[in-house]
Structures are given as structure tokens and as C-alpha cells.
Amino acid sequence: MKNFKINHREVQSYDVLELSGELDAHTASQLENSLKNLIDQEKHQIIVNCEDLDYIASAGLGVFMAYIEDVRSLGGDIKLTNMNEKVYNVFDLLGFPTLYDILQHESEAIEKFENDETE
């Protein structure tokens, strides 16, 4: 089994979570804790970089579903970036692209956040 890891870094005023490995029922709680911690610290502009994410199961998707409302009700958002085709297809199957900003690159997510703020 591949290990799942989350790396947290800050870019300007945004929090980036880099996911790597496999996000499934066993590892979903790690993502849950990371998102909860950010929300508790009143950090609501979250970018999830999926560049090194090899696999996502429905449990992983459920975590995003659980927290997006919280984050948006606080005036923030979760934007997803750098997905490989396999991972994107899972999101796409469940209609995620209509609910979330899914962008090619992290820089585009930052740009979108900045545009959202000026509107």
C-alpha cells in the first residue's frame, strides 16, 4: 500500500495542502484533521494540490463534501489543482467540477481567489 502524506505550506495568504499517495477510507481522517485545523485557525482560503495524489476513493471525496460548506459559509473556498487524469475522472464522475473550482495549476487557483476578492 502506498503511503498517504499531506504537506502544508503557505503561499501569500493562502494555505496549500499537497496530497500525495492514496486517499481512501484509511487515510481520509488525515485530510479531515488537516482541514479542521485550518478552519479552527480561521484559515478559509485553501488550495488542495493533487499533483502527487495517485488515487482517491469515495471516502476522500466525502471529506471535501463535508468541509466545503463550512469553508464557504465562512467566506472562503477550497480550490483543487494539479490533478492527474485518473483522479480528475473520479471527481468528474460525481459532478465535482460543477461544485468546485478544479484548476490545472496552483497559480490559477491563487489568481481565482484574488479575482473573487475584488469582485
Q: Is pLDDT at 1 greater than 80 in this prediction?
A: no
Q: Quick one: pLDDT at residue 63? A: 95
Residue 117 has pLDDT above 90, yes or no: no
Interval 29-82: pLDDT, tens: 999 999 999 999 999 999 999 999 999 999 999 999 999 999 999 999 999 999
pLDDT for position 116: 82
Q: The domain 5-118: what is its CATH number?
A: 3.30.750.24
Which comes out higher in pLDDT, residue 116 or 119? 116
Confidence (pTM): 0.94
> Across the chain, where does the E strand assignment appear?
5-11, 14-23, 45-56, 77-81, 101-103
For the chain, the structural domain boundaries read: 5-118
Return mean pLDDT, the chain. 94
pLDDT over 90, % of the chain: 88
| Cβ neighbours of residue 101 closer than 8 Å, sequence gap 6 or more | 77, 79, 80, 109, 112
Residues 22, 27, 28, 32: is their CA dihedral positive or negative?
A: negative
